[in-house]
Structures are given as C-alpha cells and as structure tokens.
Amino acid sequence: MSSSGDKISIRPDEWVAVLDFGSQLTQLIARRVREHKVYCEIVPHDTPADELRRRNPKGLILSGGPASVLDEGSPSCDPALFDLGIPVLGICYGMQLTSRLLGGTVEPGRKREYGKAIMTIDHPDALFQGLAPDLQVWMSHGDKVDTPPEGFRPMAHSDNCSVAAMMHPERRIFGLQFHPEVVHTPQGAEMLWNFCFRICGCRGEWEMSAFIEAATEAIRERVGDHHVICGLSGGVDSSVTATLVHRAIGDRLHCVFVDNGLLRYREAAEVEDLFRDVLGVDLHTAHTAPQFLERLEGVIDPEQKRKIIGRTFIEVFAERARALGPVRFLAQGTLYPDVIESVSPVGGPSATIKSHHNVGGLPEDLEFDLVEPLRELFKDEVRLVGRELGLPSYVVDRQPFPGPGLAVRILGAVDEERLDILREADLRVREEIMKMENYLDVWQYFAVLLPVQSVGVMGDDRTYENVIAVRAVQSLDGMTADWYKLPHDVLDRISNRIINEVRGVNRVVYDISSKPPSTIEWE
C-alpha cells in the first residue's frame, strides 16, 4: 500500500500551533483549543522558525514534557520562534524552556509539586482577565523558574512556586507552571480562551459544517475520475469516512464489509441496512464467519487470536478488492491521534499492550494511494461530522469496539455457542444502560464471557454454568479510564435479565478496576 501523493489537508487560515515536548497531555491542549472553535495542530518541538513563519499561526503553545530542561540532550526548540512576533504560551516544561532559552534561570525544586494547588494572581493581565485572584490549578513539576528572563515579570505564585506564571508584556510571551488543559484546573479553559482570543486575536471559525464542505472538495480534487475502495466496519471512523467520500464521488466509492461472525447482536444487518439500503452506497459484504471460526478453533492466547483475525481479514479484503478490478485509492478512517503517535518527535519506546490490525499489510499486487479525510480530527470532532452528515445516533455514538470483535471478549476458546451467549448477554447490558438519561456519560460498556463456571441453583436444580463480567468505564479518549459507578438498580436489572434470559449463564459480576493498572478490554 502506498501513501504517495498529497495528503488531504483541511487546514483553515487561522490556527494555533502546539510544539510537542512529549507530554501525555499534548493532545489535550489541542483538543481544548479546538473546543473554542480555533483550529489547533501539534507540530514537532524542533520545527524550524522559518517553517512556522511560512505557515503563519496566530500563536504558539509549548507543551509540557517528561524531561528536565537541566538534563543534557533534553528536547529544545528553535530560539528564533520567540522572534516571530506572535504570542507564545509555555506550559510547565514549555515555561521552563522559555526561561532557559531567553536568559532566565531554572533550578530543581526542593519539593516536587504534584496535584492540586492554590495559585494567587499577583499581576493580572489579559491571560487571567475575568478570573478570581485565587485559583485552583494542577501542578506537575520538579524543576521551576527561579529568575525569569530580562523583561519578564512574575504574574502569580503558589506556596511552593514563587513564579507560577510569568509574562513579557511587549513580546506577548507567557509561561504557566501548571496545566490549564486539565479538568483539575477549573478555570483553565478560560485561560486558553483568553490566550486564543484576547492575546492572539483569533476569530473562532473552526466549524464542522465548514470542514465537511472543504473535505468534500479536497476528496474530489485528490481522487479525480478514479475509484475508491473503503474497508467498512460500521464503526464511527469508517462510517464517517465512507459517508464523506460517498458525498464527494458517489458510486465511484466501493465499500467492503467483512462479516467475520465476531460482531455484536444484529450489527452486520444494521451496517447493510444503513449503507446499502438507506445511503445507497455500493456495498460488498463478505459473509465469512465459518472461515474465521475455523481458524480460531481451540486458540486461547489473545495475541494469537488477534493475529489470526488480522491475517484472515487481510485475505478476505484482498480477495474482494481484486474482484472489483483496478481501483487506485483506499479510504481509511485515520484520526489525528493516530498521526501524532506515528510521528511522535520525543516519545521513547513503549511497551506493546496489545496488537492492532487495519487494512495495512495488503499483498504487493494491491497498491493503493490513501485517502484519509479525517486525519486532522479528534474522535469527538468525527462524531460531530457524523451528526452534520445525518448519520443516525447508533452509528455516531457507537461504542469503541476492538478490531477482533467479540473474540477478545471471550476469554479462552471461541466457538459459535460461546459467541451466542456473549451476544445475548452484551445486548442486555447495552439495552439497560441505554435506558439511563445520562447513558452518553458512560464512555464504554460491554459484557465479557469468562473461562470459568460456577455453581448455582435454578428452581430445585443445581446448575454449573458460565459467568459474565460487566464492564463500564468513563474516559475522555481511552488512554486512562475509571470504572463507572452504575446505579444499583441498573446493575440489578442487568444481572436479572442476563441470568433469566440468557441460557447458560448463572452468575454476573461487575468489574471495578481502572486503567491503569488494568486495561479497558480484558484481552
């Protein structure tokens, strides 16, 4: 598969750049700025000032990072970016680096400051306009600015940090020792709003309706008269991608939907009903459940399951792609976090938690150029696009679902009988939670079939049957998650329905572990 050719880029004229120094919160900064309808893009920390001058952002934000500016070889930036004449906001590591590059001093803190702190504003300015003099903020630092650079003045302090914020009024360069992007800094959103609008002069015109129009034109220009193939799963990303591309080129889009037998209750029928019958997409369904189940027979190891499913998916997709004849482009639902992670400038090696599969790894005779219309969007923005496009809520608000499907929610061997048990149990979990008025607050919820059986009593008979675990979590993006405190009456109905309505289950348990240390999925 080839990515040759220009990427589809839907970048507005007005934008703010975030220089990435490796913080786990860098993406959150960009999300927070975009929530104010200002387009924001993450760029490598060593992006040359000339490149930024050429792209003409309205402002720069220097992210936090795990390194110490006092360490040899710690990530830095082009000092010339401070002379671009546009506002700069350094956050945590970004503030310390600003101070060090411009002649201030940074020293190791005698006491590391981590968590909630009360900050007192000493010299209010545009960044803190409209805020109370004493604010709760979220600190996470060891080093701290001791003496700000010449021309800077301290703006705020906390008990453990004499320079909790600083600014150079004429050059419009700011530094915050705390993290305004996290919810634990309650007025952080207002600070970022002040930076974008009062200081950078942004207009705030980043709208999803405008994105759709620009994306449609960009797809037409990129594809020309050629045809496009799309691997459709029914998930949010692939569904929005397919709908956007279909809007742009009509019947020259061909979607391949692989029904691997590992989907949830009626999921395959829903995909076919929507895309073939309602939207009129040229949909090619591969009903290949027997092929997948045969290869999974007796396989217990979760990584083996994933690899088998991934390889089989590629084989099936490739076979259907060849049957379509010559097609130049492949549409994929790549999102902005995928792009960021693939080009992380300072991130070190990380442990493999679980393997994933996409439409990568196709045979050499299937060479495609990529069409990735969502590659500059976050997940919540993709959902907004889906709503603007008129997709139903059961697609737009669809739960995250693992690529290998229910195979990794069955602990142990996968077969048709166990799949049926899990489908029926999972349906009842979803039905009961979706009756809650605030069910959209639950980020993900599902059932897991455990590889154990337990003793029970039904009527006068002793039973020895399966155990279902219920998982429900709240999260922003899946990177971290806390178990959701479902109301007891909801848990009661879920348990009663599963035990009474799903043959083969006599016990239901609730998973109350968070991520980390646990993962959201069990496999």
- What is the pLDDT at residue 200? 97
| Structural domains of the chain in order of their starting residue, each with its CATH number | 15-199 (3.40.50.880), 208-396 (3.40.50.620), 409-510 (3.30.300.10)
pLDDT in tens, 461-514: 778 899 999 999 998 767 778 999 999 999 999 999 999 999 999 999 999 999
| pLDDT at position 112 | 62
- Residues with Cβ within 8 Å of 127's Cβ and at least 6 positions away in sequence, in order, are 89, 155, 165, 167, 174, 191, 194, 195, 198, 199
Please tell me which residue in 113, 181, 372, 432 is annotated as part of the active site: 181
- Residues 189, 180: Cα–Cα separation, whole Å: 7
Q: For residue range 117-130, list pLDDT tens digits in order.
A: 999 999 888 999 99
Q: Can you tell me the distance from the alpha carbon of 89 to that of 195, in angstroms, rounded to the nearest whole number? A: 8
Q: What is the pLDDT of residue 12?
A: 79
Q: Each residue of 339-379: pLDDT tens digit?
A: 776 555 443 322 333 333 345 567 777 788 999 999 989 88
- Count other C-beta atoms under 10 Å from residue 311's C-beta: 13
Residue 458 pLDDT: 72
pLDDT number for residue 346:
44
* 255 in active site: no
Q: What is the pLDDT of residue 210?
A: 87
Q: Is 357 a catalytic residue?
A: no
94, 97, 102, 106 alpha-carbon torsion, rounded to 10°: 120
Q: Which two tokens stand for residue 132?
A: 């109370």
Give CA–CA dist 469/491, Å, rounded. Answer: 11
Residue 178 backbone class (left: φ over 0; alpha: ψ -120 to 50; beta: rest): beta
DSSP-derived pairing of the beta strands 153-158 and 161-168: antiparallel
CA distance 32 to 38: 9
Residue stretches of the annotated binding site for ATP: 233-239
The span from the CA of 294 to the CA of 313, in Å, is 13
Residue whose token pair is 């950078």 = 200
pLDDT score, position 109? 62
Q: Which of 45, 141, 168, 179 is catalytic?
A: 179
DSSP collapsed to 3 states, 257-293: EEECCCCCCCHHHHHHHHHHHHCCCEEEEEECHHHHH
Residues contacting residue 319 through CB under 8 Å, at least 6 positions apart: 286
Phi-psi region of 308 (alpha: psi -120 to 50; beta: other; left: phi over 0): alpha
Looking at 92, 161, 200, 255, which residue is catalytic? 92
- pLDDT of 485 reads 96
* High-pLDDT (> 70) share of the chain, %: 92
Burial class (CB in 10 A: 0-12, 13-18, 19+), 511: middle
Active-site residue, 179 included: yes
Regions of the chain where pLDDT drops below 70 = 1-10, 109-113, 141, 341-361, 459-460, 477
Helix (H) / strand (E) element for 462: namely: strand 461-474
Q: Can you tell me the distance from the alpha carbon of 479 to that of 477, in angstroms, rounded to the nearest whole number? A: 6
Closest CA to 71 of 96, 103, 92: 96
pLDDT for the residue 360: 59
For residue 218, give the amino acid letter.
A
Strands 39-44, 59-62: pairing kind = unpaired
- Identify the pLDDT of residue 50: 96
